């Protein structure tokens, strides 16, 4: 009897130790042991965006040959070979038509710390991606658009500032992704080109030193650090959302502070610190469309960002048809056809703004007057009570 009891105790001891060992082995497969797939990986003409939530990897891949775009969306799990594998859908966009197919793939990290994409049921070569952070895509703030794309071994950055008329300024940077800081850095020559007239010579400046770096803040906004002229000062860019016909799309969007491409210019302006908490609401009008009103709001929001230091815009909205009609003389005296009036409220800090406002105060019912002719662009002409 004692011998049987001893055997049972011995078996229990072995079983418990095996369970502990198995648990330890399982715990050994932690996030530290798993290659870091999460982020954006790029190569010429393609990039992969990988997110991780609820023990699942979501992989979104886009390729574009200049004519047609293909999108793969996978739901993946980690495998024992330090890779992830899963099933998904390939959506081919050809001549405006979307064609869907089932797709199977595995992803692994090679010895060069590159992502390798292997499609198991498609007659296609493996594609190797380099890690490029979370920059690739289009970002906007006010009249400035930033495009990141992978080409020629670099994370290329094109910046366009479309000013009034034919005047525009372009910057181009060849960036590398800094694994330590998580920034996109151009530590060599960048190019700035100013176009004032399409028929005239343009002006090109080549920066001969490290010219720019880009980072993404905790709010998912892109920050442009221009080391030469501070051109990106006080700007925070919102990522432009390109819709994808897959339910996992929300996983990727949650990471960014983004706006749809159809969002009015007003929303894209509201990325600077002194207008980031501004609110607006619709006011019915028989004189102007909502697009007319939004474009006027965008102009005043930009004015506030540039010239109203020490002030924080809280609310801005259309004053209404009756008030705008009452200001028709402003259009007449400025040789314009139409006038629009906006109302706003804003806070003033201890600096008193430009010195003409009361420090530590709030202004409400503040007017902004804009005029235009022939349904053209609004021109801001005055403000006040």
Q: How much is the average pLDDT of 357-375? A: 93
Burial of 354 (0-12, 13-18, 19+ CB in 10 A): exposed
Residues 125-172 have pLDDT tens digits of 888 888 877 787 888 887 789 998 777 667 889 999 877 667 788 899
CA distance 134 to 49: 8
Q: What is the pLDDT of residue 191?
A: 86
Residue 91 has pLDDT above 50, yes or no: yes
Q: pLDDT value at position 97? A: 72
pLDDT exceeds 90 at position 249: no
Alpha-carbon separation of residue 214 from 106, 157, 200, 218, 233 (angstroms): 31, 10, 32, 14, 12
| Residue in 243, 252, 280 with CA at minimum distance from that of residue 265 | 280
Question: Of all residues in the chain, what percent carry a pLDDT higher than 90?
Answer: 18
pLDDT at 192: 86
Per-range mean pLDDT, top range of 76-90, 95-109, 253-267, 333-347: 333-347
> What stretch of H or E contains 291?
helix 290-307
The pLDDT of 6-34, averaged and rounded, is 39
Q: Is 19 exposed, middle or buried (CB count within 10 Å of its CB: 0-12, 13-18, 19+)?
A: exposed
Q: Secondary structure of 132-164 in the HEC alphabet?
A: CCCCCEEEEECCEEEEEEEECCEEEEEEEEECC
Please compute the mean of the pLDDT values over residues 38-56 and round it to a whole number. Answer: 79
Q: In the structure, what pLDDT confidence band is assigned to residue 383 with cuts at 50, 70 and 90?
A: very high
Longest dimension (CA), the chain: 113
Note whether 204 and 197 are within 8 A (CB): no
Residue 359's pLDDT is what? Answer: 92
Closest CA to 353 of 299, 274, 271, 290: 274
DSSP 8-state symbol, 110: -
- Is residue 75 within 8 A of residue 88, CB to CB? The reply is yes
Say which residues have a Cβ less than 8 Å from residue 184's Cβ, sequence separation at least 6: 132, 133, 135, 148, 155, 157, 175, 176, 177, 178, 213, 214, 215
Q: Quote the tokens at residue 319.
A: 């004053």
- Among 71-85, 255-269, 340-354, the minimum mean pLDDT is found in 255-269
- Whether the pLDDT of residue 363 is over 90: the answer is yes
78-92, 280-294, 344-358: the lowest-pLDDT one: 78-92
pLDDT attached to residue 307: 79
φ, ψ at 278 (rounded to 5°): -70, 145
- Is the four-CA dihedral 158, 142, 210, 197 of positive or negative sign? positive
Q: What is the pTM of this model?
A: 0.49
DSSP for 165-234 reads TT-EEEEEEEEEE-TTT--EEE-S-EEEEEES-TTSPPEEEEE-S--EEEEE-TTS-EEEEETTT-TTTT
306-322 pLDDT, tens per residue?
778 888 888 999 999 99
Q: Give the pLDDT mean for 315-344.
A: 94
What pLDDT does residue 27 have?
Answer: 38
**% pLDDT > 70, the chain:** 76
pLDDT band at 254 (very low <50, low <70, confident <90, very high): very low
Work out the mean pLDDT of the chain and round it to a whole number.
Answer: 76
């Amino acid at each position: 009897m004692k011998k049987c009891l001893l055997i049972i105790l011995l078996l229990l001891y072995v079983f418990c130790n095996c369970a502990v060992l198995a648990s330890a082995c399982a715990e050994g497969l932690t996030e530290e042991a798993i290659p870091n797939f999460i982020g954006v990986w790029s190569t010429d003409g393609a990039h992969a965006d990988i997110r991780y939530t609820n023990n699942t990897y979501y992989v979104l891949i886009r390729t574009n040959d200049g004519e047609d775009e293909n999108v793969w969306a996978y739901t993946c799990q980690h495998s024992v070979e330090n890779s992830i594998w899963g099933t998904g859908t390939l959506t081919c966009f050809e001549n405006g038509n979307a064609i869907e197919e089932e797709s199977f793939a595995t992803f692994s990290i090679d010895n060069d710390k590159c992502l390798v994409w292997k499609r198991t049921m498609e007659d296609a070569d493996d594609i190797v991606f380099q890690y490029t952070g979370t920059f690739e895509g289009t970002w906007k703030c006010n009249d400035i658009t930033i495009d990141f794309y992978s080409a020629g071994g670099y994370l290329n950055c094109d910046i366009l500032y479309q000013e009034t008329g034919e005047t525009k300024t372009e910057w181009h940077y060849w960036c590398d992704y800094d694994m330590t800081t998580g920034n996109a850095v151009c530590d060599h020559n960048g190019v700035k080109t100013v176009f004032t007239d399409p028929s005239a010579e343009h002006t090109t400046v080549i920066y001969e030193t490290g010219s720019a770096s880009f980072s993404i803040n905790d709010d998912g906004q892109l920050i442009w650090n221009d080391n030469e002229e501070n051109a990106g000062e006080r700007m925070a860019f919102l990522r432009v959302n390109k819709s994808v016909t897959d339910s996992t799309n929300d996983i990727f969007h949650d990471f960014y502070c983004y706006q749809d491409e159809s969002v009015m210019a007003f929303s894209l302006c509201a990325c600077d610190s002194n207008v980031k908490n501004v609110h607006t609401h619709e006011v019915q009008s028989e004189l102007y469309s909502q697009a007319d009103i939004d474009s006027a709001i965008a102009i005043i929001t930009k004015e506030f960002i540039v010239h109203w230091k020490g002030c924080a815009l809280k609310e801005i909205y259309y004053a209404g048809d009756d008030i705008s009609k009452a200001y028709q003389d402003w259009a007449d005296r400025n040789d314009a056809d139409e006038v629009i009036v906006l109302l706003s409220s804003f806070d003033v800090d201890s600096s008193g703004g430009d010195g003409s406002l009361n420090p530590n105060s709030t202004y409400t019912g503040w007017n902004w007057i804009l005029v235009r002719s022939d349904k053209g662009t609004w021109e801001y002409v005055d403000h006040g009570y």
